[in-house]
């Protein structure tokens, strides 16, 4: 039954590269590098500590107008009338707009263009934009919204996954050809599932639920747009993906993309929440054209919670067959994703909820059924770990149960079944460098896990989990043969170096990363490098700060660009030093003879000589992932990556057996980032992941009552404060990936994934019972204590909540 018709791919495993890898722990100062591997202050940190850094809402232009969006007060309703006539009578109001003015449907994925700037005919979630007003100030715009009359004819709301699979509720998207409110189904199987389960000594089956949550980046989204007399637009916006906004905004506004410039200024955190076009950005541009004046839209925190695109609530059923020694013979993962009202990145999320499970452990047969549904809630999208965080929680909890049932040491068990470096998974994903075992070993050693696990007094526990993540999606959102990232490096005759690259700095350190790579290549100080980033007019395209792609892809592009300049400079230096160009070394603002480092000339002199000889000194580079990353089947485009990062986390908890409160005492998190270009930045990403994972595990939830967010503010939506955050130990594991820039992989998302199951496993160790759903609240812990492992969650069987039943 569960292995109903699915696509079975037949690609071969022949092209596995045979190569070893060595990992080193905390290799802080690798030899031979002068910039790479040094914990230098980030180049962007000076502007950030002085208040000089400009974020979107800091931009103020002369004659600027302020906009506010009118948002739906119904979860599901037909709009029978919108009357804006009274609005323009209010002094200070300049313009108003509704859906007919921007009729194009768009979506970040070409497969689900289902959103509009302003809803027409129908609203599908509370908070969906219906109209907007711009006025001389925000207060006036806000007042004007109250003068817009909207008549609704309520429709039955679809609020849960079960609702969405019912036949008797209205469809959110009547044009969808899928049954009921199903948005996307994925059914894939690899290897011989039947034989795999037949060969198993034991089969484990568990159900989990992962609650949705919000990114809650500290900066609320804001956008400023300007329309010039030359018919050209500029949008400044807190976007992790200026390139995709460029593309989609041009289409929605009905203008050539060449007439639009999108600039991502500093971004106050993203975590995936600013990766697709938002209504306020498109509205700002529309009103700029309509009024001929600059327009700003800045969202309130409450609006951010309704704009959402946060982590999908996900139900999961995981069935795994193992030998008595724990060897996995087959695994079947089923997921149901509560997508909210629109597509967003949901098709990709659905694939991701199955694609990366086989990347950590050897699984010879693997099947995956995913089903994403529409509900009348704000759309879900990508959040740090995109779609892989939820199944990782389930899978790692189940592995601990398996280890427990078979009497295995959970750490040794994981290292034994861990994937090998330079191998291929059963779903044809190419693994290159892999420090998974080293991560587990390092975390185990640092915490004395073996002495503690299963041996601590009741109420105290320690838990382990491991994970993996992409270093950028192997395929772009819009399939095309062009590079994923481009960079340009310019050396000026004053010895200054500028990198131009489309990356968006959302806090992860992308600008510093570019500076490190270019400084290392050209032998200058990192502070000699200026970065011009995130500007679709000035910088070559980078697809954006999503799927942890920037270090690997933009880093490689910048490296190539710097190499190109270096070649010209080496030619010039060679002549000056009387040596061959290959003999030239670049370091400490000098170009020298590698055989005789005292024989040198300065970088400045070489720059001038090279410019005299070759003209303007510019190098360009670009990065396109290799082609052999994936199998050949529908859906094979989601999951492949040029490299994978690996992590292992150990959490130590204390549980109050009276109240059920879980107190995390320490999180130890080891992460294989390939190479730490700046160890401080990598640690920062690991620490931030530990913190964010803690929040998801214990407190954060985007839950709704009657379509209303239960906690759309930062007081009720609990995030860990400095007092809630435990000691965090970050361990950097380096594996020197052959294809990464200077061996680097990602660090921004991967380390988050193991944190949640590590805490869940620590809880199980502490109380001998499990909580199968997040967030792990005191209430659930008390229930688990009462029922001792009866399971805090039951999927409703018999309902059509099974992928097979709805094919």
Partner 1 sequence: MREKSPYDLRASARGIYGFFEMMTAPPKILAKFRLNGDEIECAFHPNKTLLEVLREDLGLTGTKHGCEMGHCGACTVLVAGEPVLSCLTLALECEGSEIETVEGLARGGNLHPLQHAFTTCGAAQCGYCTPGFLLSAAALLQVNDQPSNAEIKEALAGNLCRCTGYTKIIEAVALAAERMHESSDA
Query: Which residue of 88, 195, 218, 805 would you call a contact of partner 1, by CB under 8 A?
Result: 218
Q: Exposed/middle/buried for 348, CB within 10 Å: 0-12, 13-18, 19+?
A: buried
Q: Number of helices (H) and strands (E), helices first, in the chain?
A: 18, 32
Least distance in Å: CB of 18 to ligand FES?
42
Report what 55 binds from ligand FES, partner 1, none; CB cut-off 5-8 Å by kind.
partner 1
Q: Which is closer to partner 1, CB of 595 or CB of 723?
A: 723
- Only one of the segments 40-48, 281-289, 483-491, 629-637 lies at the binding site for partner 1 (rule: CB under 8 A); that segment is 40-48
Q: Which is closer to ligand FES, CB of 507 or CB of 693?
A: 507
CA atoms within a 13 Å half-sphere pointing along the CA-CB vector of 566: 25
Query: Which residue of 101, 162, 185, 302 would you call a contact of partner 1, by CB under 8 A?
Result: 302
Vertex 428 angle, CA 424 and 431, to 5°:
35
Buried b (16+ CB within 10 A) or exposed e, 713-750: eeeebbbbeeeebbebbbbbbbbbbebbbbbbbbbbbb
Least distance in Å: CB of 389 to partner 1?
16
Q: Which is closer to partner 1, CB of 486 or CB of 534?
A: 534
- Only one of the segments 18-26, 424-432, 448-456, 687-695 lies at the binding site for partner 1 (rule: CB under 8 A); that segment is 687-695
Chain position whose Cβ is nearest to ligand FES: 218
- Only one of the segments 187-195, 287-295, 545-553, 685-693 lies at the binding site for partner 1 (rule: CB under 8 A); that segment is 685-693
Q: Alpha-carbon distance 461 to 771, whole Å?
A: 14
Least distance in Å: CB of 11 to ligand FES?
42
Q: Which is closer to partner 1, CB of 16 or CB of 139?
A: 139
- Only one of the segments 574-582, 619-627, 712-720, 767-775 lies at the binding site for partner 1 (rule: CB under 8 A); that segment is 712-720
Q: Alpha-carbon distance 8 to 710, whole Å?
A: 43
Q: Bridge partners of 593?
A: 584, 596
Q: Which is closer to partner 1, CB of 216 or CB of 348?
A: 216
Using CB under 8 A as the binding rule, whether residue 138 contacts partner 1 is answered as yes
Cβ neighbours of 637 (radius 10 Å): 18
Report the phi/psi class of residue 495: left, alpha or beta, with left for phi > 0 and alpha for psi in -120 to 50.
Answer: left
Pairing outcome for strands 366-373 and 328-338: parallel
Using CB under 8 A as the binding rule, whether residue 62 contacts partner 1 is answered as no
CA atoms within a 13 Å half-sphere pointing along the CA-CB vector of 151: 3
Residues lying near ligand FES in the complex (CB under 6 A) are found at: 218, 269, 507
- Return the structure tokens found at 506: 């959302």
Using CB under 8 A as the binding rule, whether residue 684 contacts partner 1 is answered as yes
Q: Alpha-carbon distance 197 to 193, whole Å?
A: 6
Q: Which residues contact 287 (CB under 8 A, 6 or more apart)?
A: 65, 67, 95, 97, 132, 134, 225, 295
Report what 652 binds from ligand FES, partner 1, none; CB cut-off 5-8 Å by kind.
none
The radius of gyration of the chain's CA atoms, rounded to the nearest angstrom, is 27
Query: Which residue of 344, 508, 548, 556 would you call a contact of partner 1, by CB under 8 A?
Result: 508
Q: Which is closer to partner 1, CB of 395 or CB of 704?
A: 704
Using CB under 8 A as the binding rule, whether residue 49 contacts partner 1 is answered as yes
Report what 220 binds from partner 1, ligand FES, none; CB cut-off 5-8 Å by kind.
partner 1
Least distance in Å: CB of 507 to ligand FES?
5
Q: Which is closer to ligand FES, CB of 218 or CB of 788?
A: 218
Residue 464 · residue 666 · CB < 8 Å: no
Q: Which is closer to partner 1, CB of 16 or CB of 39?
A: 39
Report what 14 binds from ligand FES, partner 1, none; CB cut-off 5-8 Å by kind.
none
Using CB under 8 A as the binding rule, whether residue 687 contacts partner 1 is answered as yes
Least distance in Å: CB of 526 to partner 1?
12
Residues 223-282 that bind partner 1 (CB under 8 A): 266-271
Q: Alpha-carbon distance 801 to 320, whole Å?
A: 20
Residue 270 · residue 193 · CB < 8 Å: no
């Amino acid at each position: 039954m569960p292995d109903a018709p699915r696509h079975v791919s037949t690609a071969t495993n022949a092209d596995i590269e045979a190569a070893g890898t060595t990992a080193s722990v905390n290799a802080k100062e690798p030899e031979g590098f002068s910039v790479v591997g040094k914990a230098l202050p980030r180049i962007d940190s000076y502007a950030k500590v002085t208040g000089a850094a400009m974020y979107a809402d800091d931009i103020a232009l002369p004659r600027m107008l302020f906009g506010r969006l009118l948002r739906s007060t119904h979860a599901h309703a037909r709009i029978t009338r919108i009357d804006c006539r009274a609005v323009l009578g209010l002094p200070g109001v300049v313009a108003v707009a509704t859906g007919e003015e921007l009729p194009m449907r768009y979506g970040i994925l070409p497969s689900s263009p289902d959103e509009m700037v302003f809803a027409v005919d129908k609203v599908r979630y509370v908070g969906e934009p219906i109209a907007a007003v711009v006025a001389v100030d925000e207060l006036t715009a806000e007042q004007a919204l109250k003068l817009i009359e909207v008549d609704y004819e309520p429709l039955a709301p679809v609020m849960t996954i079960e609702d969405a699979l019912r036949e008797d509720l209205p469809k959110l998207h009547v044009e969808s050809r899928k049954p009921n409110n199903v948005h996307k189904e994925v059914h894939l199987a690899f290897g011989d599932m039947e034989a795999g389960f037949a060969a198993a000594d034991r089969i484990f089956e568990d159900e989990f639920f992962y609650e949705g949550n919000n990114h809650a980046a500290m900066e609320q989204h804001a956008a400023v747009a300007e329309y010039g007399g030359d018919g050209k637009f500029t949008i400044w916006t807190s976007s992790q993906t200026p390139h995709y906004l460029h593309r989609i905004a041009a289409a929605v506004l009905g203008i050539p993309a060449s007439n639009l410039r999108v600039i991502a200024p500093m971004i106050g955190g993203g975590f995936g929440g600013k990766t697709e076009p938002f209504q306020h950005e498109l509205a700002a541009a529309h009103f700029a054209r309509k009024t001929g004046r600059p327009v700003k839209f800045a969202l309130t925190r409450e609006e951010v919670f309704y704009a959402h695109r946060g982590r999908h609530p996900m139900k999961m059923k995981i069935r795994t067959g193992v030998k008595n020694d724990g060897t996995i013979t087959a695994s079947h993962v089923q997921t149901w994703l509560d997508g909210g009202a629109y597509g967003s990145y949901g098709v990709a999320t659905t694939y991701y909820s199955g694609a990366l499970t086989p990347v950590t452990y050897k699984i010879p047969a693997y099947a995956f059924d995913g089903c994403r549904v529409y509900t009348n809630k704000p759309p879900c999208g990508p959040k740090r770990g995109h779609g892989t965080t939820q199944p990782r929680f389930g899978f790692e909890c189940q592995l601990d149960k398996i280890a427990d049932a078979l009497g295995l040491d959970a750490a040794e068990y994981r290292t034994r079944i861990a994937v090998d470096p330079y191998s291929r998974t059963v779903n044809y994903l190419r693994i290159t460098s892999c420090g998974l075992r080293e991560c587990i070993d390092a975390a185990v050693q640092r915490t004395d896990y073996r002495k503690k696990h299963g041996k601590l007094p009741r109420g105290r526990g320690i838990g382990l989990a491991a994970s993996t993540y992409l270093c950028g999606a192997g395929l772009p959102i819009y399939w095309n043969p062009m590079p994923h990232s481009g960079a340009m490096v310019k050396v000026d005759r004053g010895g200054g170096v500028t990198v131009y690259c489309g990356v968006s700095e959302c806090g992860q350190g992308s600008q510093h990363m570019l500076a490190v790579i270019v400084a290392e290549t050209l032998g200058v100080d990192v502070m000699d490098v200026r970065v011009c980033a995130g500007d679709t007019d000035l910088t070559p395209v980078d697809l954006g700060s999503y799927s942890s792609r920037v270090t690997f892809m933009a880093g490689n592009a910048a490296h190539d660009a710097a190499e190109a300049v270096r070649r010209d400079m080496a030619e010039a230096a060679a002549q000056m030093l009387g040596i061959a160009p290959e003999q030239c070394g670049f370091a400490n603002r000098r170009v020298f003879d590698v055989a005789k480092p005292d024989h040198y000339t300065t970088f400045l002199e070489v720059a001038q000589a090279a410019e005299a000889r070759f003209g303007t000194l510019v190098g360009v580079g670009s990065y396109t992932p290799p082609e052999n990353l994936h199998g050949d089947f529908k859906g094979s485009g989601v999951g492949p990556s040029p490299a994978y990062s690996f992590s292992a986390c150990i959490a130590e908890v204390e549980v109050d057996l009276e109240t059920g409160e879980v107190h995390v005492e320490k999180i130890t998190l080891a992460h294989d980032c390939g190479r730490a270009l700046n160890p401080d930045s990598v640690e920062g990403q690991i620490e931030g992941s530990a913190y964010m994972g803690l929040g998801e595990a214990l407190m954060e939830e985007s839950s709704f009552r009657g379509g209303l967010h239960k906690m759309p503010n930062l007081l009720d939506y609990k995030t860990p404060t400095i007092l809630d955050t435990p000691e965090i130990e970050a361990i950097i594991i380096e594996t020197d990936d052959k294809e990464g820039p200077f061996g680097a992989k990602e660090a921004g998302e991967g380390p988050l994934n193991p944190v949640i199951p590590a805490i869940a496993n620590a809880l199980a160790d502490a109380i001998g019972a499990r909580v199968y759903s997040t967030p792990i609240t005191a209430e659930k812990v008390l229930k688990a204590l009462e029922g001792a492992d009866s399971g805090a969650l039951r999927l409703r069987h018999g309902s059509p909540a099974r992928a097979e039943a709805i094919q």
